[in-house]
Chains A and B, each alone.
Chain A
Amino acid sequence: MKAAAVLPIATIALTACSGGQDVPADALVIYNAQHKSVGEMWGKAFTKATGIKVVLRNGKDFELANQLVEEGAGSRADVFLTENSPAISVVERAGLFTPVDAATLEQVPERYSTTSGNWIGIAARSTAFVYNKDKIQPDALPKSILDLAKPEWKGRWGAAPGGADFQAIVSAVLELEGAAATKQWLAGMKANFTEYSNNIATMKAVNEGESDGGIIYHYYWYRDQAENKQDSGNTALHFFGTQTAQDPGAFVSLSGGGVLKGSKNADKAQQFLKYITGAEGQKALADSAEFEYSVGSDVSSNPALKPLDELESPIVDPSKLNGQTVITLMTDAGLI
């Protein structure tokens, strides 16, 4: 048996040889929770403009946020980009960001940024109600997202409570309506809704008439409409903001970007944030097929979209959105 000891040692040696960092030290490492395509688009454009190499680590909002917190100051990450603000707040609260350069902060209106200056808005998306045109007539649409908890909506709508997207919407409900009302709304939701794995699955189900309507972000619908309408041909999109003032259903969620304190390429990282919130980066977003809203440097969003300032979204401070309480409330309601 003694000789068999060679085997485990050989393994360890073998794997050790294959180890070693594959990422060059001077490359900018971006933990990208934004859509992979958005991260890649910005990364490529930035490299083209500056010659700085960019490597992406793709994941979802809280996956990467949790990983950054776990990694702490030793993280190799230089920049963190999210889809929604609750996840970036997790990293901010852990004290892992260095302030964004003042000049960069000035590129984005205060409305779409933070008061702390630890991170900055890079794009935005609006909550919307997608509905099947055969199942719901325009005059029978819900006036407020809160209506969906009422008994008349039982079994008629769907959503993806497991995703960070929907949880950001719930955080807006919490911020605008308070804990007691949110709790009640979630209980009504649990009784009424059908669970789907993500926004696209929700939209597809609505399109196929499985659900009458569903809560999604706007761009999934616009993207499909621009492609082939395969998953949205029978549907229309309804924005709550024009119906009820300060309705949480009109919540516009902010995607954020921040520079990690432990970054060894902090200058390049700041440069990257400046680039993507600048005219070039924001225009690249508007010109792409992503259909997310541009928020910086007065660049107008994709012309197919209903303009951001016409959505009458409620005023919410993104730094105040509390992911943890939302998860507790949703857990207690049995939604996740």
Chain B
Amino acid sequence: MVLSAPAVLLALVPIWYVADSALDAGWHTIKRTVFRERVADLLGNTLQLCVLTMLACLVLGLATAWLVECTDLPLRRVWAVLFVVPLAIPAFVNSYAWISLTRSVSGLSGAVIVTALSYFPFVYLPASAALRRLDPTLEESGLSLGLGPVAVLWRVVLPQLRPALFGGALLVGLHALAEYGALSMLQFQTFTTAIVVQYQSDGEAAPMLAGVLVLLGLLFVTVEVLARGRRRYSRTGFGTARSRRETRLGVATLPVLTACVGLVALALGVPLYAVGKWLARDSGWEGSAVWDAVTSTLQLGVFGAVAAAVVAYPLAWAAVRGRGLVTTAAERLPYLTSALPGVVVALALVAAFADVDGLYQTTALTVAAYVMLFLPRALVNLRVAIAQSPPELEQAGRALGVSGLPLLRRVTLPLIAPGVGAALAFVFLAVCTELTATLLLAPTGTTTLATEFFTAADELDYSAAAPYAALMILVAAPVTYLLLRQHRRGHLP
């Protein structure tokens, strides 16, 4: 529990900042900046976006996972790849692609389309991993006890998918809460875009709006905790689970295939086509500037990923093995922080460290901001991995006289290594596309692919933005491939 302290402390800094600013401003200012029509509009927009995107991702993620894992869909190995690859395309690049091709994608429908196409792999990955790991004997027991196939799906299969589905949906929801780039390009206003606007215009309302955002995050997290329950999800049976029988699609094969092609065309085809199209125009590449952005992006990405995984590990462990009220609360706290836009987290760090020479505007503090923002991505993966490694193995290790670091190295880590890999990969991908915290905190003169992309995209200079978009996809591609391989071997939570 003590080792979880860094994670908890880091997560608390921005929340403390938001609460402190609100207290400072006083009730009068809170009343004037929060209880007004514009905020009601923003609340409506934000909630609609989150709920619709989560639902769309649940449907897309579960349907694609089921098709790949449980049916005789042709070319399943190809689809298994294609349903993960959208991870390599940042939401704001997706948004840029759509808006640069057609202005009709905008408002709520546009925002839901773009975010759902970007985020559905967050549900697909855990759902397909969980489906693959299901022991078919449970379903057979259900059938033999007189349940129909629909009832089996509803009462046996879906309950076992709960941690995967809810965990995935929670990630999608928190992403949607904190998304700035993609939504601002689509002219869709949410709390996060409004906070950035307030901050860019000397508004005092930014921390108040962030306070409302924290409460929204709290709501999401609580719902997820309540929905997940406290059951055991690792197998209890002996030996290896038998592989499942495939459901035959029959006459539905063709329509289903068409739907899959359509989904991939929208999620991958559109952004790749748009980036390619703008790349083909003359955009005046400046080699050295691009190279600087690539190296600093990679450096920040690696540091951020390692730091987040290390800080998250003790907390994830405590949350799974401890499972008390305190650990659950501690483990959920980082989720709240991650619902905040990068700019708020960065402001908190500016407020706290502006006068600390040697720390302010260094890579170290920037990495700390990434840990605050992206800890849940590491936690989700580590937690599921730890939950699925039977505690009996660690106990056996202890009984045989191995403890401490050797136990971690010889028993726990090999068991959860895929989860660690996934945690690193997810945080790396997130850092590579982070914008607002990087702008405020990175050492002066540092540019990243995301900051350069945004400078150009903000001026709607699509062809100048294209090289950076392409490079972000290129940087993300190997990491996505890694995730995919882990996933295929059944290693991913």
Pick the residue among A19, A72, A87, A332 that contacts B359 (CB under 8 A): A19
Docked-complex contact B408 and A3, CB < 8 angstroms: yes
Closest Cβ of chain B to A218, distance in Å, is 16
Proximity string of chain B (354-381) to chain A, C-beta cutoff 8 Å, 1 when within and 0 when not: 1101111111110110000000000000
- In the assembled complex, the Cα of A1 lies from the Cα of B315 at a distance in Å of 12
Pick the residue among B204, B306, B361, B368 that contacts A21 (CB under 8 A): B361
Contacts of A71 in B (CB 8 A): 350, 354-355, 360
Docked-complex contact B363 and A15, CB < 8 angstroms: yes
Interface: A86 (CB within 8 A): yes
Pick the residue among A3, A23, A163, A334 that contacts B201 (CB under 8 A): A163
Interface: B351 (CB within 8 A): yes
Pick the residue among A11, A55, A210 that contacts B310 (CB under 8 A): A11
Docked-complex contact B367 and A18, CB < 8 angstroms: yes
Contacts of B204 in A (CB 8 A): 327
Docked-complex contact A57 and B459, CB < 8 angstroms: no
- In the assembled complex, the Cα of A195 lies from the Cα of B193 at a distance in Å of 13
Known contacts A19-B362, A55-B445, A74-B355; is-contact A60 B200 (Cβ 8 Å): yes
Q: How many residues of B contact A (CB 8 A)?
A: 62
- In the assembled complex, the Cα of A58 lies from the Cα of B6 at a distance in Å of 32
Docked-complex contact B202 and A323, CB < 8 angstroms: yes
Main secondary structure of the interface of A (DSSP, over half): helix
Interface: A6 (CB within 8 A): yes
Contacts of B310 in A (CB 8 A): 7-8, 10-11
Closest Cβ of chain A to B136, distance in Å, is 37
Interface: A129 (CB within 8 A): no
Interface: A36 (CB within 8 A): yes
- In the assembled complex, the Cα of A36 lies from the Cα of B464 at a distance in Å of 13
- In the assembled complex, the Cα of A201 lies from the Cα of B184 at a distance in Å of 11
Contacts of A210 in B (CB 8 A): 103
Closest Cβ of chain B to A235, distance in Å, is 15
Contacts of A36 in B (CB 8 A): 455
Contacts of B32 in A (CB 8 A): 331-332
- In the assembled complex, the Cα of A4 lies from the Cα of B362 at a distance in Å of 27
Known contacts A18-B299, A71-B354, A76-B361; is-contact A11 B408 (Cβ 8 Å): no
Known contacts A57-B444, A57-B445; is-contact A1 B201 (Cβ 8 Å): no
- In the assembled complex, the Cα of A6 lies from the Cα of B310 at a distance in Å of 10
Interface: A180 (CB within 8 A): no
Residues from 197 to 238 in A contacting B, C-beta threshold 8 Å: 197-198, 200-201, 204-205, 208, 210, 231
Interface: A108 (CB within 8 A): no
Interface: B143 (CB within 8 A): no
Pick the residue among B311, B361, B405, B455 that contacts A8 (CB under 8 A): B311
Contacts of B41 in A (CB 8 A): 334
Interface: A92 (CB within 8 A): no
Contacts of A201 in B (CB 8 A): 187, 460
Proximity string of chain B (105-132) to chain A, C-beta cutoff 8 Å, 1 when within and 0 when not: 0000000000000000000000000000
Interface: A122 (CB within 8 A): no
Docked-complex contact B455 and A327, CB < 8 angstroms: no
Docked-complex contact A196 and B439, CB < 8 angstroms: no
Q: Which residue of A lies closest to B314 (CB)?
A: A4
Docked-complex contact B363 and A19, CB < 8 angstroms: yes
Interface: A288 (CB within 8 A): no
Docked-complex contact A336 and B363, CB < 8 angstroms: no
Pick the residue among B194, B355, B405, B459 that contacts A72 (CB under 8 A): B355
Closest Cβ of chain B to A64, distance in Å, is 9
- Residue pairs across A and B with CB atoms within 8 Å: the count is 164
Docked-complex contact A56 and B445, CB < 8 angstroms: yes
Docked-complex contact B202 and A86, CB < 8 angstroms: yes
Known contacts A15-B368, A58-B455, A197-B185; is-contact A208 B103 (Cβ 8 Å): yes
Q: Which residue of A lies closest to B451 (CB)?
A: A58
Closest Cβ of chain B to A195, distance in Å, is 7
Residues from 302 to 360 in B contacting A, C-beta threshold 8 Å: 303, 306-307, 310-311, 313-314, 317, 347, 350-351, 354-355, 357-360
Contacts of A304 in B (CB 8 A): none
Contacts of B311 in A (CB 8 A): 8, 11
Docked-complex contact B314 and A8, CB < 8 angstroms: yes
Residues from 13 to 32 in A contacting B, C-beta threshold 8 Å: 14-16, 18-23, 29
Closest Cβ of chain A to B73, distance in Å, is 41
Contacts of B351 in A (CB 8 A): 70
Known contacts A6-B405, A15-B363, A334-B38; is-contact A22 B446 (Cβ 8 Å): yes
Docked-complex contact B201 and A336, CB < 8 angstroms: yes
Docked-complex contact B306 and A8, CB < 8 angstroms: no
Closest Cβ of chain B to A16, distance in Å, is 6
Residues from 68 to 82 in A contacting B, C-beta threshold 8 Å: 70-72, 74-76
Interface: B443 (CB within 8 A): yes
Docked-complex contact A336 and B194, CB < 8 angstroms: yes
Residues from 197 to 211 in B contacting A, C-beta threshold 8 Å: 197-205
Interface: A48 (CB within 8 A): no
Docked-complex contact B187 and A197, CB < 8 angstroms: yes
Docked-complex contact B202 and A4, CB < 8 angstroms: no
Closest Cβ of chain B to A205, distance in Å, is 8
Proximity string of chain A (186-202) to chain B, C-beta cutoff 8 Å, 1 when within and 0 when not: 00000000011110110
Closest Cβ of chain A to B57, distance in Å, is 25
Closest Cβ of chain A to B141, distance in Å, is 38
Interface: B486 (CB within 8 A): no
Pick the residue among A11, A74, A200 that contacts B357 (CB under 8 A): A74
- In the assembled complex, the Cα of A164 lies from the Cα of B202 at a distance in Å of 9
Pick the residue among B201, B307, B354 that contacts A162 (CB under 8 A): B201
Docked-complex contact B202 and A324, CB < 8 angstroms: yes
Proximity string of chain A (63-101) to chain B, C-beta cutoff 8 Å, 1 when within and 0 when not: 101110011101110000000001100100000000000
Closest Cβ of chain A to B130, distance in Å, is 27
Contacts of B187 in A (CB 8 A): 195-197, 201
Contacts of A76 in B (CB 8 A): 361, 444
Proximity string of chain A (300-336) to chain B, C-beta cutoff 8 Å, 1 when within and 0 when not: 0000000000000000000000011001000110111
Contacts of A42 in B (CB 8 A): none
Closest Cβ of chain B to A180, distance in Å, is 19
- In the assembled complex, the Cα of A161 lies from the Cα of B408 at a distance in Å of 55
Closest Cβ of chain B to A292, distance in Å, is 14
Closest Cβ of chain A to B214, distance in Å, is 20
Docked-complex contact B358 and A20, CB < 8 angstroms: yes
Docked-complex contact B364 and A19, CB < 8 angstroms: yes
- In the assembled complex, the Cα of A314 lies from the Cα of B31 at a distance in Å of 37
Interface: B440 (CB within 8 A): yes
Interface: B26 (CB within 8 A): no
Contacts of B45 in A (CB 8 A): none
Q: Which residue of B lies closest to A23 (CB)?
A: B444
**5 closest residue pairs by CB, A with B:** A3-B405, A19-B364, A162-B197, A3-B404, A19-B362
11 further interface pairs, Cβ-Cβ under 8 Å (given A11-B306, A22-B444): A3-B404, A3-B408, A4-B405, A8-B310, A21-B358, A23-B445, A65-B202, A162-B201, A163-B201, A323-B201, A327-B201
Task: Give B contacts to A, CB under 8 Å.
Answer: 3, 6, 32-33, 36-38, 41, 103, 184-185, 187, 189, 194, 197-205, 299, 303, 306-307, 310-311, 313-314, 317, 347, 350-351, 354-355, 357-365, 367-368, 404-406, 408, 439-440, 443-446, 455, 458-460
> What are 12 A-B pairs with beta-carbon distances under 8 A?
A1-B404, A4-B405, A14-B306, A15-B364, A20-B358, A21-B362, A55-B445, A57-B445, A70-B347, A70-B351, A74-B357, A336-B198
